[in-house]
Structure 1
């Protein structure tokens, strides 16, 4: 072929060394001992696939891409590339992980955001829901239109902070 290594099955052994122009894992690459992947350009671990070393896992190239739900696993891991991108994948070592790169992108994923309610709690323990913030009225009208009228208009933040401090002032007077 053109120097590319494409793994579409299970590839494994005691010690494994792969060198090529590009390395693409579409299943499992494993070694009981050390595992070395060296690419001239890119090493890509496709979604939901694994690269595992019982010993040291070394991966090098211009770019290392670990896709969604894929795993890079080893006793020790060393990644060396101009760019390393872990896109909702796992990089996990029993001991040390060393990443040598100019650009590291470790992208996570947040699920079920609609199951949580957002709110703010003031320092005096009043709960304000996110939707209520837009409903706050500015005392003295729209402050942004009246910046020069200091005597007539009050900044809403000063007013709200004053209201929030009132319970504390009452406690201090007791």
Structure 2
């Protein structure tokens, strides 16, 4: 029987981290089904959903634990495969935010979403140099699930108002499946 394991690993960035970790997973007959990996400051962070046969699980966990001696922080947690039934019938939207970088943008946008009962599926954020001037631009891309009672025009109007208060552009579009 297959088990689903979420693995989170962070450590000092260096060449070969992904190779080392995926080699351990492969050696224990595991399969990375989904992942997010990024260098954040001087650290490298990995978040992976791994499928592994139940009889290989102990070996995989022991091998992953050996990475701690190399200075990595590691956590593992069991989960179940598939999308939660909780969001069946909900609207799936893509939200993009862009504007002058300042404190509180992520909080204010996600706070408003939470107040509306919207669930975040994923968020990617970053900064980039503005085309003109020395200013940094904040960029956020989010995928969310909105309850059936919340229409796109209503959510769009509300997020545009939040965007005006934050001095950022907010665009929202339905995700077609």
Provide the TM-score with structure 1 as the length reference. 0.19
Structure with greater contact order relative to length (CA < 8 Å, sep ≥ 6):
2
Structure having the larger proportion of residues in helix: 2
Provide the TM-score with structure 2 as the length reference. 0.19
Larger Rg: 1
